[in-house]
Chains A and B, each alone.
Chain A
Amino acid sequence: MFCYNCGCHLSEHDFCTACGADVSLYKRIMHVSNMFYNDGLEKAGVRDLSGAINSLRQSLKFNKNNIEARNLLGLVYFEMGEVVAALSEWVISKNMRPEKNIADDYIGMVQSNASRLDAINQTIKKYNQALVYCTQDSKDLAVIQLKKVLSLNPRFVRAHQLLALLYMDSEQWERAQRELNKCINIDCNNTQTLRYLREVELMLVPDENVKQPGRYKKDETVRYQSDNEIIIQPVNVREGKSSGVSTLINIGIGLVIGLAAMYFLAVPAAESAAKNEAQKSITEIGNQLDAKTATIKELETQISNLQAQNDNLNRELDGYVGADGTLSIIDSLLTAATAYLETEDVQQTAVNLENIAKSITIEETSEAFQKLYQTLLSTIGPELSQSYYAAGSEAYSSDDYAAAIENFQRAVYYDAANGDALYNLARTYRKSGDNEKAIETYDKVLELFPDTEWARKAGRDRTALAGESN
């Protein structure tokens, strides 16, 4: 303790040993301040925060320089969610004693976390907004705001109290009680909280002597609203002393009722569910059956079509295959080849080959078949061609142009290199009056045998024929 006059350290005497000033009253004031500080400390220790605030304020009214009292006051404010008030006290404390002051740590703790400081500011703003909503009679919005505030700062006693007041106003007594209990847990001796709590308890457990008009319709029931539901709680209803037998009877009746309810409610429902399930299964199976039937019909149609194709192919094959199972056309070719090798009869071989060519398309036969056919044809071709050429010439001489044309055509067919036959075919066409075919055949001679005597003759005749036609 220091002298107010000179600032020297005071002794146990009632005057300053340095300047001689009377400090008896001053010392008493300091003692009173310390006494209030001790009282506040004691109350804060048992969570009587409101009481602690009163004592500490008193302490500071006597001695504003009581740093411990000021720091403790800030701490109590902080505990009650009054962060700005707490910060104010700590800042003043720090200004009064800049060194070795725990307020420095407190301020640092709050200010070090920017997001936390921002959250604190948000809670204060929301609380103030909730107050505005209350004055504007928007109580639902106020409740929502206060719930947000308390989710951010659950120790904000004033917010709890205001929320409880709103719940009380809407006759949600249980909720109000819950909020007030939270207040009590933070500040156990808050007069306002206790007053509200008393009111709420009066509503929840009504005294018979205190009549609440409009809230209790009958003496034997308690009626109050919780959220949107009206709770009707019977009071003064005591359970009679029941004997063991009556208990057993009651249990038996209960069992019978339960079984009956099961029989009449649960069993039909289960049966209905089982029937529905069976019906679903039957429907599903029916659908599957229809799908399979359709598939079977489709497959049967395919089988019949394939069977018809198979029969056609078999018939075609039978036409080709002889009695001993070999293809008749191959047999014919082999027979023709064998006959030629044995007899070298060109005419008969030619007849056989012509028969083969008439019955099938040579180009569609196998490679070996074509090779044998062509070999046979080229072997007998020149000789046969000469034979037909001779016959054609004879017919031409006897003016039988039709026979001559046929023979010349065969001579050309069997030997494409037979230029005489081709030239004479053209001449015969000319003689027979078929000038068009004659010119066509002359052109073939010019094309196939250029620079030959046949070409020269053909050119001359063609020119003459063309002149005749024009």
Chain B
Amino acid sequence: MINFEEELKKFHPSLEVEDAEEAIYNQDLTDMADLLVKMIKESEEKPKQQ
């Protein structure tokens, strides 16, 4: 049995055109490739520090 109030919580306001720019800037674009590169660089830097 569907609960209207609960279902309504799943609907969120849609972004307006004016807010698109802000949304684009705030988007987290970090991907797995970035994480990998970061990890590799960190692993390379650790032996140098030691």
Q: How long is the Cα–Cα vector from A88 to B15 in the complex, in angstroms? A: 10
Name the CB-closest residue of A to B17. Answer: A121
State whether B36 touches A25 (Cβ < 8 A): yes
Among A79-120, those with CB < 8 Å from B are 82-85, 87-88, 91-92, 117, 120
Name the CB-closest residue of B to A135. Answer: B8
Chain B residues lying within 8 Å of A84, measured Cβ to Cβ, are 14-17, 19-20, 23
Chain A residues lying within 8 Å of B40, measured Cβ to Cβ, are 21-22
Given the known interface contacts A87-B20, A88-B23, A88-B27, the answer about A62 and B32 at a Cβ–Cβ threshold of 8 Å is: yes
- Closest Cβ–Cβ distance, residue B47 to chain A (whole Å): 15
Chain B residues lying within 8 Å of A131, measured Cβ to Cβ, are 8, 11-13
Given the known interface contacts A131-B13, A158-B14, A192-B10, the answer about A64 and B20 at a Cβ–Cβ threshold of 8 Å is: no
Chain B residues with a Cβ closer than 8 Å to the other chain, count: 28
State whether A30 touches B27 (Cβ < 8 A): no
Among B13-50, those with CB < 8 Å from A are 13-20, 23-24, 27, 29-34, 36-37, 40
Chain A residues with a Cβ closer than 8 Å to the other chain, count: 44
Chain A residues lying within 8 Å of B30, measured Cβ to Cβ, are 64
- Closest Cβ–Cβ distance, residue B42 to chain A (whole Å): 14
Select one of A64, A92, A128, A169 contacting B33, CB under 8 A.
A64
Name the CB-closest residue of B to A120. Answer: B17
State whether A29 touches B17 (Cβ < 8 A): no
Select one of A5, A60, A128, A168 contacting B14, CB under 8 A.
A128
A124 CB-CB contact with B under 8 Å: yes
A328 CB-CB contact with B under 8 Å: no
State whether B13 touches A199 (Cβ < 8 A): no
State whether B2 touches A195 (Cβ < 8 A): yes
A38 CB-CB contact with B under 8 Å: no
A61 CB-CB contact with B under 8 Å: yes
Chain B residues lying within 8 Å of A124, measured Cβ to Cβ, are 14-17
Name the CB-closest residue of A to B9. Answer: A135
A4 CB-CB contact with B under 8 Å: yes
State whether A61 touches B31 (Cβ < 8 A): yes
Q: How long is the Cα–Cα vector from A64 to B34 in the complex, in angstroms? A: 9
A178 CB-CB contact with B under 8 Å: no
Q: How long is the Cα–Cα vector from A59 to B36 in the complex, in angstroms? A: 15
State whether A165 touches B4 (Cβ < 8 A): yes
State whether A92 touches B2 (Cβ < 8 A): no
Given the known interface contacts A63-B33, A131-B11, A195-B2, the answer about A88 and B24 at a Cβ–Cβ threshold of 8 Å is: yes
Contact mask for chain A residues 332-376; partner B; CB cutoff 8 A; 1 contact, 0 none: 000000000000000000000000000000000000000000000
Chain A residues lying within 8 Å of B19, measured Cβ to Cβ, are 84
Contact mask for chain A residues 243-284; partner B; CB cutoff 8 A; 1 contact, 0 none: 000000000000000000000000000000000000000000
A78 CB-CB contact with B under 8 Å: no
Q: How long is the Cα–Cα vector from A62 to B29 in the complex, in angstroms? A: 10
State whether B11 touches A158 (Cβ < 8 A): yes
Name the CB-closest residue of A to B13. Answer: A128
Chain B residues lying within 8 Å of A21, measured Cβ to Cβ, are 40
- Closest Cβ–Cβ distance, residue A80 to chain B (whole Å): 11
State whether B2 touches A196 (Cβ < 8 A): yes
Q: How long is the Cα–Cα vector from A158 to B11 in the complex, in angstroms? A: 8
A431 CB-CB contact with B under 8 Å: no
State whether B33 touches A29 (Cβ < 8 A): yes
- Closest Cβ–Cβ distance, residue A20 to chain B (whole Å): 13
- Closest Cβ–Cβ distance, residue A304 to chain B (whole Å): 94
Select one of B12, B13, B24, B31 contacting A62, CB under 8 A.
B31
Chain B residues lying within 8 Å of A135, measured Cβ to Cβ, are 8
> What are 20 A-B contacts defined by CB distance under 8 Å?
A22-B40, A26-B33, A29-B32, A61-B32, A63-B33, A83-B17, A84-B16, A85-B15, A91-B24, A92-B29, A117-B17, A121-B17, A121-B18, A124-B14, A124-B15, A124-B17, A128-B13, A131-B8, A165-B4, A168-B2
Known: A64-B33, A65-B33; 17 extra A-B contacts, CB below 8 A, are A4-B36, A33-B31, A61-B31, A62-B31, A63-B33, A64-B34, A84-B14, A87-B17, A88-B15, A121-B16, A124-B14, A124-B16, A125-B16, A128-B14, A135-B8, A165-B8, A195-B2
